[in-house]
Chain A
């Protein structure tokens, strides 16, 4: 759970950084997007293979992450089969409480996201075969799509906020009360950076700063 989660947080940070290339103009953005599917690690791996190795790692992480979550959820339900009549929350965060359903919602969002921008099955403001830049600008010209993405990215970042703290703690990094504060702070910083970093681009498109 911890290791696969951290792999995915690493991916999110990279993805966010890549999105910001949109501010360098259409050529730079498209070139970057094609490079991702092109000759990374060539000639160590044949040209075009990297993306598939990468996708395999991501898929394995997602499957292992969901499997671990399902096992933990099953154990938790078995361990509290009779619910309390009254529950008082003392230290849990909203992010921690919504990890399970939040995780399911963000998976649904992820499937939509891939259908939209990877397979181009769902076309919102662009046509099939559109260049990445054209696709991005076309899609995020829709205010409702930007709103939908803001909500989804918010859910993702909430998941990341508890996830980063929890993963590092599981891996043994919570060594003292000071470390606990630091890890929670770090988780907040990563979550906020991701939210801001991911939302700048759609907002810039919506307000016409990028077109």
Chain B
């Protein structure tokens, strides 16, 4: 008997999993994400993350924002998206604020957003390393905090999620009149 060499698949290491209550949903998610060009893999969820279904979809965790949006648009029901390594901390929730006199800089993880105190106009964004960040830089600068598009709506990655957090905090500081 001749054994054929199995065709080698493209290696994949995603670092994150989408968790489901139902196998059907997991399979639907795998199809939706693959059709959209994402590299994904059906896997067993780690025991510590199991949410009732024995099937999960491994994703590139960095693409969390774009994947959440796509699943919502395609009505795929899922429980949550989590890092595959259970030792990984949760998403960083805290922000830091720096007062530059006429401007305020809000920092969330690796992302920073700066606006002018008087008009609430976004004058700069900095930090980050994913490709949607230079795009969001161009989309946000010059816009008023409350009129700017939300990074989580037009971005795709964890960096966009952190920029979104900085923007939300900026809006809170500015509209609440509590800017330093």
Q: Do A and B bind each other?
A: no
- Chain B residues packing against A (C-beta within 8 Å): none
- Chain A residues packing against B (C-beta within 8 Å): none
